Amino acid sequence: MTRLTPNDLENLLDKLHRNEEIIKRVTGKSIKKICEETFSTSHNSEFVGIIPITAGDGIIGNFTASLLAIVEHFGLKGFVTENYDISGYHEAIKKKADIIMMADDQMFVAHNLRNRKIATNHECTGIVYSEIAARYVYANSKDILVIGLGRVGFSGAAHLIKKGFNVYACDPNSKVLDSAVQKLGVQKYEKNKNKKFSMILEATPCEKTISSGMIAERCLVSTPGIPCGLPEKVGRKYDVDMVMEPLYIGVVSMLYSIFEDNRNL
């Protein structure tokens, strides 16, 4: 997992609006609608407490402020606690937060205290970016490529298999790849077979993971990966559609995954 930097979080609202537009164009739906449909939940005026955490490499400038901006962007009220860590948790409960959000270097969670649901960023990021890829309006088949089978890629691949897609996957670690073949039923992507994809989920912390040989005539790359795995030159040459954003999309997915079920409403 790449640790975000304050730089990644600069102009977050611009990136957010740009990606919201791209998502609408390439899937026909808003990110909120996609999350509502994926998790069958909707929000209910939850009050969100966000706690800065000093463990490990410590506070990331702008991280908790960006989370608050995201929460407020879609109409919820929230606050960043003045205190850090356990004292921050105590403060959030005292201020009657319904949802707690906090992250250290290993884990980023959202916990809904009303219904006890808990979300992890890596799982929800995998789910939402794979959903976006899977909804590509110009897709020419149900074949989809997942690059990188870490926590995000694995979660995305599992979600796509559940949805009935033909998932091809690659990972530099052959044990990880073999395990996903066994556990999930993904197929190994073999470079020499010259198979091209119109939907790609890229979930690695590496550059240049996507080569021109993988890309179909119309192609969507859906990626939370920082840095970007699609070389700029390749992206331009093939006019690839790309959804890529550092925080917002994964956080919306976390929130929807813990909101109240709306199936019985």
Give me the residues that bind ligand 0TF (CB under 6 A), please.
1-4, 52-53, 59-60, 63-64, 103-105, 108, 121, 125, 224, 247, 250
Closest separation in Å from C-beta 246 to ligand 0TF: 6
Closest separation in Å from C-beta 189 to ligand 0TF: 24
Nearer to ligand 0TF, 84 or 197 (CB): 84
Closest CA to 202 of 237, 253, 242, 158: 242
The answer to whether the beta carbons of residues 139 and 125 sit under 8 Å apart is no
The answer to whether the beta carbons of residues 202 and 225 sit under 8 Å apart is yes
Nearer to ligand 0TF, 70 or 139 (CB): 70
Closest separation in Å from C-beta 12 to ligand 0TF: 12
Closest separation in Å from C-beta 174 to ligand 0TF: 25
Nearer to ligand 0TF, 5 or 115 (CB): 5
DSSP 20-46: HHHHHHHHSS-HHHHHHHHHTEE----
Nearer to ligand 0TF, 1 or 181 (CB): 1
User: Could you tell me which residues come within 8 angstroms of residue 80 by beta carbon, excluding any fewer than 6 positions away?
Assistant: 50, 51, 52, 64, 65, 67, 68
Closest separation in Å from C-beta 138 to ligand 0TF: 26
98: amino acid identity, one letter: D
The span from the CA of 52 to the CA of 232, in Å, is: 35
Nearer to ligand 0TF, 27 or 64 (CB): 64
